[in-house]
Structure 1
Amino acid sequence: MARLIYWFLKKWTNHKRALGLFFAHYNYCRKHRSLKGQTPAMAHGLTTGARSVRELLERVTAP
């Protein structure tokens, strides 16, 4: 991850947004083996299914 964030370090707001997308993908899109194929959000009961990256980006960019 360190190599990926160097591009966003020039502005603090870009860095915060990049980390926000990373954490959203980790919690809502990525299924984990240790959670038996669930995302962390599914394991905590926040969602019923995993989201695709397209759905995640549509929610982020929606007005």
Structure 2
Amino acid sequence: MPDEIKMETNYNLEDLNEESLAYVNRLFAERYKQWKSDLHHHFQAFDDPQVALQEDCPKELEGREDS
């Protein structure tokens, strides 16, 4: 994520009510599970994990290193 966007983003979750916090937690959990699934499918395409690591990152996973 570019630094100028990071500086504009506010991740203050302290003032959320319980319902909103539960929604955010579900959303984060879903996104994390999808990210793990995408990586798993990428690695399954190769016979050797070391070869998978040497290959370029799939386009749909680029820029998601800190996700």
Tell whether the structures are fold-level matches, with TM greater than 0.5. Answer: no
Greater RCO, CA 8 A, separation 6+: 2
What is the TM-score when the length of structure 2 is the normalising length?
Answer: 0.35
